[in-house]
Each structure stands twice: as C-alpha cells, then as structure tokens.
C-alpha cells in the first residue's frame, strides 16, 4: 500500500459516531464569489430597553423579567417540547411511524449584561453559569419521564439566535437525541472491544501529539478533533473520566469556566469579531446502563466561519447527499487558534 499523504484528498473517521468526513486540503486557496454575510453589528449596550431578555423588561410572551443580577433561568415562552403532551403513537404503516415526545424547555440568561458573551464575562459570573448548568441538569433529570437533558447555546444570528442577549437553552426530552444515540453506541463498543474509555484514550493520544490541542488547564483540554467537520470545530474534554456535568467538583467547575472564556476569546480573536457557534454538552443519559460506564462527558463547539467574519462554511450538495467535507485540515486550524492570544481583543489595554 502506498504511503498516506495528508496533503492529498483523504477521509477521516469520527469514532464517536462511526461516520466519515472528506478532507480536501488542496482546496484552501479556491476563489470565493459566493454569499458573504453581513458584517458584525455595532457594539451592544449593557442594557437594551427593547430586549425581551434584559432585566426588568417584558418578554415576548408577556411575562416580565425580574431585576436579576446573576444568571436567570426560566421556562421558554415558546417551547419546542411540551410537558403536558400525552403519551401515544401512530403506526398506520411500518414506514409511517410517529410517537408523542413530551418534555420541557428552559432558557438561561448568562448575566444581566446585554453586551457580555461567555468570552467577556467576569470569571465569577461564568462560574455561576457553569453552576446553573449543573443545577438545572440535576433537577431536570430527576423529573419523571425525562430521558435526556441537552444543554446548548446558539451564538449569533448566523446560527439562528433570535436575540443577541447572551443566553443558552436547555431542552429535556423523553427520548435520546440522535447524536447521543450514536455516541452512546460507539463509546460502549469501544469500551467492550478495547477495555478503555474512547475519549480517555483519545485525550492521551492528542495530549502526547499536541498538534491539535488549542488550549488546556489542570482539568480540561480543548482540541480540534482529528475528524472535525466544521473549519474551527473544537471538542472540550475533562481530564478526569466523568459521565455527567453535575459530577464536576468545585475546582473543575472553575477550570471549565476558565477554559470556556479562553477558548471563546480565541474564537473572537481569530477575525476580531463576534464568532458565531453552536455549543452543547453531551453526557451520560440518566439512569444509564452498565455499558454507559464508557460514556465520557464532552463539549462540542461548532462554528461556521471559514475565511473571515463574513464568509462561512455551508453544508450543501455533496455534504448533504454524500459525506461532510472540509478544506482546512484540523491541524492547521488548531495551529491558528493556538497562536492567538487568550485575552479577548476588546479587553486589550
């Protein structure tokens, strides 16, 4: 077999899902005459009287926010899941299967400040966000009928955020989401076949190589996964084998806050503009099975930007009909992020 050439088209396996990504390094210099996104909006105020998430303001659903001074969590006024949904299923034909999906949705405002994303929150406030995530996870998993709790954030209009006030969401569903099903299966198979946690083994390999590590501290490592699909996609892993976010001890919560602030600052510093992304935690399902011992808590960050703050990566054509594809290798993307300062560009000086 001929030697492998990483500078030529090749594909890489995602062991978390069992799916492949096509890598085409020779395409990085192709000309771009496609869609260009609007430039980032001007600086935001600390409080916006028209924002339905700012303290004291009326929300879109009619309720009024309290004058909150830290994180503020409330039931989504326009939820995708409804707790009162009665159980039931419809199977008029094996190919036409449907079933009820009860659940509930929460919104978490990170702070009263309309203008401070995770990258610029004071560390104490960011530690409060991590604490709120853990408390909400524990409380929602304890509710009857809840099969999974998904914590996530969509930052920026490019990712579908309906409001610029920094906030995240928490959806608690009766069933397991598709991505969690795939990751659960692959991690269980790896544990059974190799006798080791998949992500513990990956962390040891990536820490030794170092070429895809972006930043790290005593408790967490952020890296470009070898199989990344999005140009500057990152994976955040706790060094200790943990199954769930609420298993973090006090020191680990603080280290997660520090790493999140550093990583998201590097994102913004890349193009010196607000960097859109979807962020989400994947942890062991509540009341898991013995095979879930191999489920390692992790955080995905999926940012769409490719060449600048106004040129994004699209998942279309071959990506939708065949296999996800990327031009920029994970190694070069990691090197670019690693070379950036950890302090946010707006806080310089």
Token reading at 313 = 């990566």
CA separation for the pair 152, 142 (Å, rounded):
19
CA separation for the pair 143, 105 (Å, rounded):
13
Q: Which residues contact 136 (CB under 8 A, 6 or more apart)?
A: 73, 106, 108, 149, 151, 170
* Dihedral angle computed from the Cα positions of residues 112, 279, 153 and 314, in that order, rounded to the nearest 10 degrees: 120
Q: Which of 165, 167, 190, 296 is catalytic?
A: 167
Active-site residue, 167 included: yes
Where are any strands of DSSP class E within the chain?
10-14, 19-23, 72-75, 89-93, 96-99, 103-109, 148-155, 167-173, 213-216, 220-223, 234-238, 277-282, 298-302, 305-308, 311-312, 325-326
CA separation for the pair 285, 182 (Å, rounded):
13
Query: Could you list the active site residues?
Result: 167
């Amino acid at each position: 077999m001929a030697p492998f050439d990483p500078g030529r088209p090749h594909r890489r396996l995602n062991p978390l899902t069992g799916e492949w990504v096509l890598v085409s390094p020779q395409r990085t210099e192709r000309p771009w005459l496609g869609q260009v996104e609007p430039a980032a909006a001007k600086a935001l105020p600390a409080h916006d009287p028209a924002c339905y998430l700012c303290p004291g303001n009326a929300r879109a659903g009619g309720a009024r926010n309290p004058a909150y001074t830290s994180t503020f969590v409330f039931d989504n006024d326009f939820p995708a899941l409804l707790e009162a949904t009665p159980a039931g299923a419809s199977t008029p034909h094996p190919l036409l299967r449907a079933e009820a999906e009860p659940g509930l949705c929460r919104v978490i405002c990170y702070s009263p400040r309309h203008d401070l994303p995770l990258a610029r929150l004071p560390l104490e406030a960011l530690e409060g966000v991590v604490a709120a995530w853990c408390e909400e996870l524990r409380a929602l998993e304890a509710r009857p009928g809840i099969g999974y709790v998904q914590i996530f954030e969509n930052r920026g209009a490019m990712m579908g955020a309906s409001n610029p006030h920094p906030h995240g969401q928490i959806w608690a569903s009766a069933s397991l989401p598709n991505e969690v099903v795939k990751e659960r299966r692959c991690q269980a198979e790896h544990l059974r076949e190799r006798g080791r946690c998949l992500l513990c083994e990956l962390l040891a390999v990536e820490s030794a190589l170092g070429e895809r590590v972006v930043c790290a501290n005593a408790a967490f490592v952020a890296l470009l996964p070898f199989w990344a699909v999005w140009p500057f996609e990152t994976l955040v892993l706790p060094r200790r084998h943990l199954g769930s976010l609420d298993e973090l001890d006090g020191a680990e919560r603080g280290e997660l806050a520090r790493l999140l602030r550093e990583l998201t600052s590097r994102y913004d510093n890349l193009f010196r503009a607000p960097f859109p992304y979807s962020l989400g935690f994947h942890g062991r399902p509540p009341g898991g099975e013995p095979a879930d011992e191999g489920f390692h808590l992790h955080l995905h960050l999926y940012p769409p930007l490719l060449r600048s703050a106004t040129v994004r990566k699209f998942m279309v054509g071959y990506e939708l009909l065949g296999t996800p594809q990327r031009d920029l290798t994970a190694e070069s993307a990691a090197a670019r992020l690693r070379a950036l300062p950890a302090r946010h560009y707006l806080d310089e000086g």
